[in-house]
Chains A and B, each alone.
Chain A
Amino acid sequence: MTITIDAIKSAIEGGERLTEEIILQFYKRIEEREPEVNGFLTLCRDEALERARSIDQKRKKGEKLGRLAGVPVAIKDNISTDGMKTTCASRMLEDYIPPYDATVIKKLWDEDAIIIGKTNMDEFAMGSSNENSAFKVTSNPWDTKRVPGGSSGGSAAVVAAEMSVMSLGSDTGGSIRQPAAFCGVVGLKPTYGLVSRFGLIAFASSLDQIGPITRTVKDSAISLEVLQGHDPMDSTSYKGEASSYLESLEKGVKGLRMAVPKEFFHTKGLDPEIADSIRASIERYERLGAIVEEVSLPLMEESLAAYYLISSAEASSNLARFDGVRYGYRTKEYEKIEELMEKSRSEAFGKEVKRRIMMGTYALSSGYYDAYYNKAQKLRKIISLQYQEIFKDYDLIISPTTPILPFLKGEKTNDPLEMYLGDIYTININLAELPALSMPCGFSKEGLPIGLQLIGNHYSEATLLRAAHQLEQEIGLKSPIRKEEV
């Protein structure tokens, strides 16, 4: 039995297990596995156990339990948690304790979830390997010499290693989907605006989106139902009606129209084992009755440039607030205010963060604005329209999540451009504000997980989750570490 939201909830509701026992068991597992995986930055055992006991009390009194009752959840360390350190894996926020909860955190509390800790990430969510964390490098639970992906690497690794049932990540250019692919779990990036960003420490506001990482598609559906919903605190929050996803999961994919962009398979550097695994999944979909056709989606390399220009420009602006004056790191010796700011920022930001701030400042500086930033924005529109064109005829797009398998620690740290190329299949989705999900679809000969990406039209998460669930049932799951009963 795999540990799922349903299994935990029904064990608690049926009185078979106390919430406290379950949470203690997860902390025991963390004690055993965390030394190797290094997925957490902060653990909050006492608070979690106290919360667990209050849920047990609630049940004893016969009160109705929330949709995530007793479910352990790990939170990426760029999502604000009242009273609990939120560092963005940066020296800049090493001691920062938010005075308020992000909207998604409030929603988790309201549904009786139990936050067990905060997870490691690339500094300020900039990176694809977790090697840009200022504090530690998380390992991939499938092969601890390899990276878990990034930037939500800690969130993906702790779910893969069954140290948590669910986690929250954030996705600006693939930061939920790529680590989910590397760690063999399910990662969902919702449509832009579907989940509130209030309390998420911003990287690139027009691209950032919070989403769940889980072991099963069904758990992803349950999580999204909890996380979504309009929030007046986020001006980009979706005002439409909230959909439910569980009821349509079991509907088949017969007649569903799926597009496969041919350019995605001609990408330089696409691992042949990944290509084969995706093709095998396409065949499975065809056997299940879906209609799969090849389409064209050009502008791959150009979109990578557009993404890095726009995201860096927004980052340079968003990260201007970290000046060492009001909160965050402050340098020890300074005379003038300018010196205080410059020294604080230079000492506390890591290499990649500085590189992005520099790139963004350059793209926005006079003389280059039209050549780079403005052009990138227009290109973004073209890319969005290309996707809209495809969705006139198709329900979903299938692609690999990443062109490469989980790589060795240190393998790509010297070449930022090579690292950026790994985002080739995921960045477009953020530019076009679309929802997409990565799910495990197979393994390489070496036993490393391979991720398949399903892309849907805006607010079509129900179709996305249904198609993913159907494929997951066909393939079956495999756990990296011995499965245990809850």
Chain B
Amino acid sequence: MKISKEEVHYIAKLAKLHLTEEEADKMTEDFEKILSNFDAIRGVDVEGIMGETFKTTEAPHLRKDEERVFEDKKKLFQNTLDLKEGYIKVPKIIE
């Protein structure tokens, strides 16, 4: 066993997902197979290879962090479901 159903539920919680018991069973089964396949990488010798240096093209370059105003506020909020006085409404966070 590579992974238990309890672990699957725990990972779901971290990922802010809720799985039904049925979904969790299927996910555990899929994970089992996928992780067995992924174990192929455990045997590869990566000695001396530094992480985070995979890039072989040029490194990212950052532009100046300059403020720009998005003029059309109506457009900016066109996808917001619950808006009140220019603020997005969410349930109470602090009691």
Q: Footprint of B on A, CB under 8 Å? A: 95-97, 99, 191-193, 206, 232-233, 235-236, 238-240, 299, 301-302, 304-306, 308-309, 316, 320, 323, 325-328, 330, 334-343, 345-346, 349, 354-355, 357-359, 361-362, 365, 371-372, 374-382, 384-385, 388, 416-417, 420, 431-433, 458
Most buried by B among A232, A358, A372: A358
Is residue B67 within 8 Å, beta carbon to beta carbon, of the partner chain? no
Q: Footprint of A on B, CB under 8 Å? A: 3, 8, 11-12, 14-19, 23, 27, 30-31, 33-34, 37-44, 46, 49-58, 60-63, 70, 72, 75-76, 78-82, 88, 90-93
Given known A235-B63, A299-B44, A382-B49, contact A458–B16 (CB-CB < 8 A): no
CB <8 Å contact, A305 and B37: yes
> Could you list 23 A-B pairs, sorted by A, with CB under 8 Å?
A193-B58, A206-B54, A233-B63, A235-B62, A238-B57, A302-B41, A306-B41, A325-B90, A326-B80, A330-B82, A334-B91, A336-B91, A342-B18, A358-B31, A362-B3, A365-B11, A374-B51, A375-B46, A377-B52, A378-B46, A416-B33, A416-B34, A433-B55
CB-nearest residue of chain B to A192: B57
CB <8 Å contact, A193 and B57: yes
CB <8 Å contact, B88 and A325: yes
CB distance from B81 to the nearest CB of A (A): 5
CB <8 Å contact, A357 and B15: yes
- Chain A residues with CB below 8 A from B82, complex form: 330
CB <8 Å contact, A375 and B42: yes
CB <8 Å contact, A361 and B90: no
CB distance from B80 to the nearest CB of A (A): 6
CB <8 Å contact, B54 and A346: no
A362: contacting residue among B11, B16, B56, B79, CB under 8 A: B11
CB <8 Å contact, B42 and A371: yes
- Chain A residues with CB below 8 A from B72, complex form: 99
- Chain A residues with CB below 8 A from B57, complex form: 191-193, 238, 433, 458
- Chain A residues with CB below 8 A from B41, complex form: 302, 305-306, 309, 372, 375-376, 379
A337: contacting residue among B42, B58, B61, B93, CB under 8 A: B93
CB <8 Å contact, A377 and B38: no
- Chain B residues with CB below 8 A from A330, complex form: 81-82
- Chain B residues with CB below 8 A from A240, complex form: 58
- Chain A residues with CB below 8 A from B33, complex form: 416-417
CB <8 Å contact, B79 and A97: yes
The complex places the Cα of A323 from the Cα of B91 at a distance, in Å, of 13
CB distance from A82 to the nearest CB of B (A): 8
The complex places the Cα of A379 from the Cα of B19 at a distance, in Å, of 32
B51: contacting residue among A191, A235, A377, A416, CB under 8 A: A377
B44: contacting residue among A323, A379, A388, CB under 8 A: A379
CB-nearest residue of chain B to A299: B44
Given known A305-B41, A308-B38, A354-B17, contact A416–B30 (CB-CB < 8 A): yes
CB <8 Å contact, B11 and A361: yes
- Chain B residues with CB below 8 A from A309, complex form: 38, 41
CB distance from A339 to the nearest CB of B (A): 8
- Chain B residues with CB below 8 A from A378, complex form: 46, 49-51
CB distance from A455 to the nearest CB of B (A): 14
CB <8 Å contact, A349 and B17: yes
- Chain A residues with CB below 8 A from B44, complex form: 299, 302, 375, 379, 382
CB distance from A213 to the nearest CB of B (A): 23
CB distance from B72 to the nearest CB of A (A): 7
CB distance from A368 to the nearest CB of B (A): 10
CB <8 Å contact, B90 and A359: no
The complex places the Cα of A61 from the Cα of B79 at a distance, in Å, of 39
- Chain A residues with CB below 8 A from B19, complex form: 346, 354
